Amino acid sequence: MKWKSKLLLFFLFGWKGISLFAQEESNALVEQRIETISSFLEEGSEVDYSSLTEDLTYFARHPINLNTADALSLQSLFVLSDTQINALFKHINSFGKLKSIFELQSVVGMNLPTIRWIQPFVYVHEDDGFSDFSFRRLREEGTHDIMLRSKRTLQEQAGFIPDPTTGKSNFLGSEYGTYMRYRFQYRRNILVGMTFENDIGEPLRNGPDFKSASLFIREAKALKQLVIGDYQVQFGQGLTCWNSMAFGKSSFSVQVKRNAQGLKPYSSVNESSFFRGVGVTIGNKFLSATVFASRRKLDATFNADTVLTDDGMAVSSILLGGLHRTESEIAKKNMLTEIVSGENIQVQKGMWKLGTVAVQRSWSDSIAVRTDWYANGKFTGKSQNAVGIYAEGVWQNVSLFGEVSRSSNNSWAYVSGLTAALHSRVSATVLLRNFNQDFQSVYSNVIAEGNSVFPSNERGVYASVQAQLSKKISVNAYTDGVQFPWLRYQVTGPSSFSDNLIQFNYKPDKKHEFYARMRIRRTSIDRTVLNRIDFPVDKLSQQIRLNFIFSPTESLKLHSRLEFVKTNEEGLPNESGYLVFQDVIWKKMNVPISVTIRYALFQSDTWNARLYAYENDVLYSYSIPAYYGKGARIYGIFKFDVRRNIDVWFRIAKWTYTDRDFISSGNSMISGFRKTDCTLQMRMQF
């Protein structure tokens, strides 16, 4: 182990002593909210739970002032609809600033479950923000957050085994992955952050493999937003320019509409989904303008191409994994330069917004032509751009939103939708999308069945409904019908797709919570005959989940789940799988230790019958592993409150398979049927 890793581990383990930590309740609250949100999302969806956790953790400790909050802050709670936010603003305009949080009960559209959900994250006060800013307040109210993390897999991976002939291993770094993060924050207005990370197997000889830093200033009079360093961009509904994670399909209507934040400081360790440069937004409540620019290096591979380039080489693939453990992976690092610039102009009046966004991207080398039939019309060359127009607003009890975009090859795409409060207990959402077969997105993230980042060749209609049938019973459901006019990967012909989900929720009291979910998906996939002829056939997937939460005491929570899946490809035998797990979560106030344990059993005939489940992790980290094969999984999280402002987390997770003698493949392969991962994390706040 390298001396730097040893020093980090010694520092992590070296803290002694135990005392009370007053913020334990807020941590438990955020974990509960994240679990609730994840239960409504599509399994396996790429949601940045670390960013979501960070936002909710901040709001739990620095609640939103309802009297001065803007729509974006309230939308960040992921439970208030635009119609509810609009009703709150109208209430304040009509009756003056709120005197108490209990006044929310008189706001049109606010129901008791929603008020209880947001209550820990909001408060009522006359003023805040930059209006009373001073350097003394900056010093006194600013918070510092330092986080150190180390992780490793206990079993030896193939990449660490020395070659018998050379005596060298493929992985050049340590068996320990390391992570360090620093944050300074003043309210929601100033944030300074730095992040350093090394994945397992990455060498530290030139310092951390991934380095990120940013300065973010928000709502300083006419300066609406300023970010220097690493950042993300969100505009409209994600069709023209949106390079951060976002929710996919969900039975929770509020999560379908994109709520763009404009410029946003980057705080994750995904080494591909960010810009590096500067961005600024200036304006007032009615008109704002944003410009941003980015220049960064990307990992890439090249192949011969004498048509596009003079040197005979073109980019065959851009690598997004961010792993640099071997000589070959390091050789592909920072081989391609990407330059991105963009502009946005937006007018806003109340909850109504109208804006236009343009983004341009160029590379130091040409992107190679793809030869696959289904890739006809995909981008090739050295530069591209896209221009879009978006609008959103609230009319009576209906929230409207949409965006249309044109790529540089004159191809079009649009997404539009509405969410309506049909009754105080019933809301519905409809979303239409149409992406031309040759639409070439620059940076997108939209709701799509094909590819949310590169949307094309898709026409779909999504509809969902939420209904509070009684104080104890509610139902969520959605249906999604899609047409693919052109070929797709593994589908050599036009095809269709349908996705239907219904979920019943029952919460008789604070101690018990139950939901049952059924989901049916139908799609097409190629069947090969005589190893020569491909033709699409139907593929059906059916899924049932039963989820139960019981809290026998205030300090103990039991979480149980039973889930089945069955898939059938026309003309082939059924493939099935199941997952059952039991969580035990113990957190007692005024006790400096909390424990979370899960034991799961699973079996799936094939990869098509895999199942996903959200897992608790150390703070600001998350995992949603795929349960595939046959075996068991157990993990435990132990949190120790060392001092009032210091906590230590330890997580151990173990896979035990009964259907294999090797786990994974290539350099990550483990000889045996067990895999154990350990994570140690310490956080200091002051």
pLDDT per position as a tens digit, 635-653? 999 999 988 889 999 999 9
Instruction: State yes or no: pLDDT of 513 exceeds 50.
Output: yes
Coil, strand or helix at 351: coil
Contact yes or no for 209/334 (Cβ under 8 A): no
pLDDT at 198: 94
Two tokens, residue 560 = 């149980």
pLDDT band at 40 (very low <50, low <70, confident <90, very high): low
Instruction: State yes or no: pLDDT of 309 exceeds 60.
Output: no
**CB atoms near residue 482 (< 10 Å):** 19
- Please report, rounded to a whole number, the percentage of residues in the chain having pLDDT higher than 90: 55
The average confidence (pLDDT) of the chain is 86
DSSP-derived secondary structure letter, 588 = -
CA dihedral 531, 533, 534, 538 (to 10 degrees): -100
CA dihedral 91, 95, 100, 102 (to 10 degrees): -50
Enclosing H/E stretch for 328? helix 327-331
Tell me, what amino acid is at 235?
A: F
Residue where the block lists tokens 């102009």:
345
**Euclidean distance between CA atoms 228 and 191, whole angstroms:** 11
| 3-class SS letters over 377-389 | CCCCEEEEEEEEE
**Euclidean distance between CA atoms 539 and 531, whole angstroms:** 20
pLDDT at 18: 31
Contact yes or no for 654/674 (Cβ under 8 A): yes
Burial class (CB in 10 A: 0-12, 13-18, 19+), 676: middle
pLDDT at 556: 94
pLDDT at 4: 41
Average pLDDT over residues 275-282: 97
pLDDT at 194: 96
**Euclidean distance between CA atoms 65 and 127, whole angstroms:** 8
Contact yes or no for 539/570 (Cβ under 8 A): yes
pLDDT at 102: 77
Contact yes or no for 425/473 (Cβ under 8 A): no
**CB atoms near residue 78 (< 10 Å):** 20
pLDDT at 133: 72
pTM (two decimals): 0.86
DSSP-derived secondary structure letter, 471 = S
Q: Which of 369-378, 479-488, 501-510, 573-582 has the lowest mean pLDDT?
A: 369-378
Select from 2.30.29, 1.20.120, 1.10.150, 1.25.40 the CATH code of 57-127: 1.10.150
Exposed e or buried b per residue across 497-533, where buried means at least 16 C-beta atoms within 10 angstroms of its C-beta: bebebbbebbbeeeeebebebebebbbbbbeeeeeee
pLDDT band at 500 (very low <50, low <70, confident <90, very high): very high
pLDDT at 522: 95
Q: Please, what is the end-to-end C-alpha distance for the chain in angstroms?
A: 31
Locate the DSSP E strands across 410-494: 412-423, 426-435, 458-468, 473-484
Instruction: State yes or no: pLDDT of 206 exceeds 50.
Output: yes
* Cβ contacts of 685 within 8 Å, gap of 6 or more: 143, 144, 145, 146, 645, 646
> Where in the chain are all domains bearing CATH 1.10.150?
57-127
Instruction: Give bridge partners of residue 363 from the DSSP assignment.
Output: 338
**Euclidean distance between CA atoms 664 and 679, whole angstroms:** 20
Give 332-363 pLDDT, tens digit per residue.
Answer: 999 999 999 999 999 999 889 999 999 999 99
**Euclidean distance between CA atoms 451 and 440, whole angstroms:** 12
